[in-house]
Amino acid sequence: MQSDLGAHLGVGIVSSSKSNQPGPDISAPTTLILIRHGQTDHTSQMLFSSGLGGANPGLNDHGRDQVSQTATWLAGLADQIDVLVTSPVKRAEETAAILGHALELEPTIEHDLAEMDFGTWDGLSFAEVAEREPEALRTWMGSLTVTPGGGESFRDVEARVLRARDRLVTEHRGKTVMVVSHVTPIKTLVAHSVDAPLTSLFRMELTPASVSVISHYERGPDGNPASSLRLYNARPGDDVVLSRHHH
């Protein structure tokens, strides 16, 4: 199972050195292993849950169990994961601490990986916002530029998340980086990896403590930087899916 998972994650693959000839980059990619934090009480109650600007809940017992399962699933790849970075938000830091213990890595903070700031909507349910601010909710839904409750828009989050991605790919070129973050940042990275419009976020689901993987190459077939989505929203127990697509 671990060899199948390693193939999907794009780790432990030795590539030939970079060619000076035109064409695709054949050197080792920079691979981001994206982990969504485990469940909190906000998650289970389906409440808006901001980054640092809100209540900032930690993991609940079920969330810690979810992350522990993911950590065990990935532990066999510990010697192939070079760096662990995390959002500064409490639920992400707690998730990173569990993963770091299993993988023997010390997490470092990347502030631009925090969840969207939902402003005054933080801690409220969708139904509560619909009752209190129906017009504001209607305007926000499906919009990339409207800010929820005076917080951040999807475009605001996109800008800082892409800054974080570019820093990680530049600073850890050719390495494998585990990134602990949140729904909006991870879906933003996934959308960009496949050149999908940002509105595609509205059609994605992302499970707590799930694993998604993107490999970044310095040069694609057209000579520009390129990326490849290797895995999306996988969880322990998805072994059949993983092994069926083994490389």
| Active-site annotation, residues | 37, 115
Tokens 């890595």 appear where? 105
Task: Answer for the pair 77, 5: CB distance below 8 angstroms, yes or no.
Answer: yes
Range list of H helices, the chain: 2-9, 41-44, 61-74, 90-103, 126-132, 134-140, 154-171, 183-193, 239-244
Pairwise CA distance, residues 188 & 161, whole Å = 8
Cα–Cα nearest to 186, from 99, 110, 239: 110
Extract the tokens encoding 76: 């066999």
DSSP string, 101-112: HHHT---EE-GG
